[in-house]
Structure 1
Amino acid sequence: MYYLHAPKSLGDPELRHRNARIGHATSQDLSNWVPHGVVLQPDDPDAFDATSTWTGSVLKGPDGIWRMFYTGARFYESHNIEAIGVATSPDLHTWTKHPETVIEADGRWYEKYGDSTWPEEAWRDPWVLADPAGDGWHMLITARSKEGDVDNRGVIGHATSRDLETWEVRPPLSQPDAGFGHLEVLQTAVMDDRTVLLFSCGVDTLAATRPKGFGGGGIWSLETDQASGPYNVESAANVTTAQLYSGRLIRNRAGQWVMMACHDANSDGFFEGVVSDPIPVRWDPERGGLTLVAPPTSTAKAR
């Protein structure tokens, strides 16, 4: 598992965003974890990841090389700029960052910092998947449209590649005005012949115009025709409330689908920063989304 962490000595949990590093841990049962330390962190004050290294995804290419596509952030006094980079590894333990930015937001379709009052240039959380028809690779990205109300511009950004090396930014795979300020930590999975999209959006970044029936923020899911989109995110349903965030679906060794997520807040609303134990999930056709089979616990030893 690769996960974000920041020193608890910072005191204020909100400072974690400016100080995040990517850590590595391994487990035999998805509950008890052996930490292996930091694998990616800022090391160049002039780089695209000068301040923080954030969420990404890992896959093994046809060339046998492991690649981690990840988010690099540069924080300034009142805003931050995000871009996507890559690191490679022969063994999943030792990673080498490539200094160049892989892709950044394209102003033809996506909001750049200064286009609105939004305090960031959103271009993060790359999720890379093979094209279902075998035609290269797709990257899904947390992004914002240049059109629409400021709090309602969240879209699924898109880029494609033939070889995992050179990427071309494409128009978004979802429409703005769907009720989200952003759609974070995207993932696709095929569960029992059903293609599912998972993402996160907190209650503080839901659009003011969002219909009342959608409930609070947290982790969301929807069914889609194919993993590479397009996606009707307006149809998404809550999987969990705001206490859990940044969910990932995993099929355990017994073949059961489970979700792991960050305990974003405890009952007092204070940030916990603990990875959950695996939570069994199933598809609920009546709700049109994933639902938890059992309540979440937080005994996973990755902090």
Structure 2
Amino acid sequence: MTENNVGDRRNPEGGRPPRWTRSQAMRIERAPETVAPVIEPPSEDPAADLHIWDTWLLRDRHGEIAEIDGWRVLFSLTAPEELLPGKRHDVAEIRFFYSRNGTEWHGGEPVFEAEALGQRQWAGSALYDDGDLYLYYTAAGDESVDELNYTQRIAVAHGGRFEADDDGVWSEGPWTHETILEPDGRWYESEDQSRGMIYTFRDPWFFEDPETGETNLLFEANTPVSTDSDRCDGDEARQEFNGSVGVATSHSGDPLEWELEPPLLDGVCVNQELERPHIVIHDERYYLFFSSHMHTFSPGLRGFDGLYGFVADSLRGEYDPLNGSGLVVTNPASVPFQAYSWMAFPYRDEILVQSFYNYREFAGDSLDGIADLSESEQRHLFGGTLSPTLRLDVGGDRTRIHGRLAHWHIPTSEEGLPNTDGYQPPEDVGSDDGYDGRPNSRMDRHQTGGYSR
């Protein structure tokens, strides 16, 4: 495998970033190794009064799950449970939960008061660094404008802290909130440049490279593509599907100082949204994961709501798609939207994957069909909690789902997991779900608010 030269990658006149190609994406199909079992509702939900979706763990600089006086902490986007599920993104706020054993979770209080940036907050990551807290998030919407809007910038909160005792964990301010990254219009498309169905500049994820010591922040973005470009063989409709995995670097290691660099991976002509990108180091290789949707694939391509992944020998290496196509985890054909927003993390010699329980018992061709249901049906179908954690066996550029844990189960490093030799993949792995490879006509900015989870 050849690696891109780091110096060339940072040179705007140098080589292009690795690409997710159409020929690779055309290999996407459901298989026993990539299809998760059908999810059953949990018997107990520690946050039954909330809608919960995108979730991340508190980690240290080395990517290990951090603890505060023996408590581990996770963060989620939340909204009141009585809200119609499709409206939750317009009021999203970050809350935190805590657990000593990784199975019993408590809390659900907001991290911030009213001082956070944006009209609401979307997904991010959290760093616990020698007692200091840095909460990276997406500031969604310009708070200086009365009308709901979908401007996105990457922000950080710092200066606050978490305190803990035998009974639990609580957040204490004041927090200082700063905008740390905005699109440059050159490597990363600005909102004014956007021609696609959904605009993205969000989902910051902290990563310190164990090989180089370099401090990075990954994020989801779009690559600017001019109408006269020869990308996608000049097909302007395909050019509008221009997702990328962006990266910024802190050359000093300061968690507050960042400089934009060229993307790690380019999905132009393939997919519009490479959501919540993150890296897992496994067997000394770099596994880049992100989530994406069925409807955000370029015309002529057929994909699924799923976790996608690539592997390289270095952070800026030449990335190869996992399993030949990039597909790592998807939902059964009978419930194609049962889970979303997967987040992978290392556990001993395997990788675990958590997600949120999205729409169950719904087998429509797209989530547009949800809007045609009654409000009571929409609420009934939406899971709004954490899904069962999946166990992933990873070897080289191949992956295989080989087991699952319970809802809300994030195991501790001392915990032994059951043997999975008897695990049977679901029988429902067929890919004939009626999707014809064309973007859904109704899934536009007006319908999704520029945000489609």
- Give the TM-score range, shorter chain: 0.7 to 0.9
Equivalent-residue separation in structure 1 for 2:408 and 2:256 (angstroms): 38
Describe how 1:28-43 pairs up with structure 2 within 5 A: 28-40=100-112, 42-43=114-115
Task: Classify the secondary structure of the residue corresponding to 2:88.
Answer: helix
Equivalent-residue separation in structure 1 for 2:405 and 2:317 (angstroms): 30
Return the structure number with greater relative CO, CA threshold 8 A, min gap 6: 2
Q: In the alignment, what sits opposite 1:281?
A: 392
Shift of 1:36: 4.0
Structure 1 109/152 Cα, relative in aligned 2: closer, same or farther at 3 Å? same
Task: Classify the secondary structure of the residue corresponding to 2:86.
Answer: helix
Shift of 1:150: 4.7
Counterpart code for 2:247: H
Query: Which structure shows the bigger proportion of residues in strand conformation?
Result: 1
What TM-score, normalized by structure 2, do the two folds share? Answer: 0.57
Deviations 1:65-121 (A, max 9, x none): 221111110078685111111112443733544333111111112211132333554
Describe how 1:14-25 pairs up with structure 2 within 5 A: 14-25=86-97
Equivalent-residue separation in structure 2 for 1:299 and 1:165 (angstroms): 31
Task: Classify the secondary structure of the residue corresponding to 1:172.
Answer: strand
Q: In the alignment, what sits opposite 1:59?
A: 127
- In the alignment of these two chains, the number of paired residues is 289
Equivalent-residue separation in structure 2 for 1:178 and 1:229 (angstroms): 21
Structure 2 residue 79 is matched with structure 1 residue 6:
yes
Conserved 8 A contact 2:153-2:201: yes
Conserved 8 A contact 2:389-2:408: no
Name which one, 1 or 2, has greater alpha-carbon Rg. Answer: 2
Q: In the alignment, what sits opposite 1:199?
A: 290
Conserved 8 A contact 1:125-1:141: yes
Structure 1 42/236 Cα, relative in aligned 2: closer, same or farther at 3 Å? farther
Equivalent-residue separation in structure 1 for 2:194 and 2:157 (angstroms): 32
Counterpart of 2:246 (choices 157, 167, 174) is: 157
Deviations 1:113-135 (A, max 9, x none): 13233355411111111134445
Task: Classify the secondary structure of the residue corresponding to 2:111.
Answer: strand
Counterpart of 1:221 (choices 309, 312, 324) is: 309
Structure 2 residue 277 is matched with structure 1 residue 186:
yes
Alignment RMSD, CA only? 2.9
Q: In the alignment, what sits opposite 1:70?
A: 137
Counterpart of 1:130 (choices 208, 216, 229) is: 208
Structure 2 residue 403 is matched with structure 1 residue 294:
yes
**5+ unaligned residues in a row in structure 2: which ranges?**
1-73, 164-170, 226-230, 232-237, 332-336, 364-380, 411-453
Conserved 8 A contact 2:123-2:203: yes
Counterpart code for 1:118: G
Q: In the alignment, what sits opposite 1:91?
A: 162
Q: In the alignment, what sits opposite 2:118?
A: 50
Equivalent-residue separation in structure 2 for 1:170 and 1:52 (angstroms): 27
- Percent identity reads 26
What TM-score, normalized by structure 1, do the two folds share? Answer: 0.83
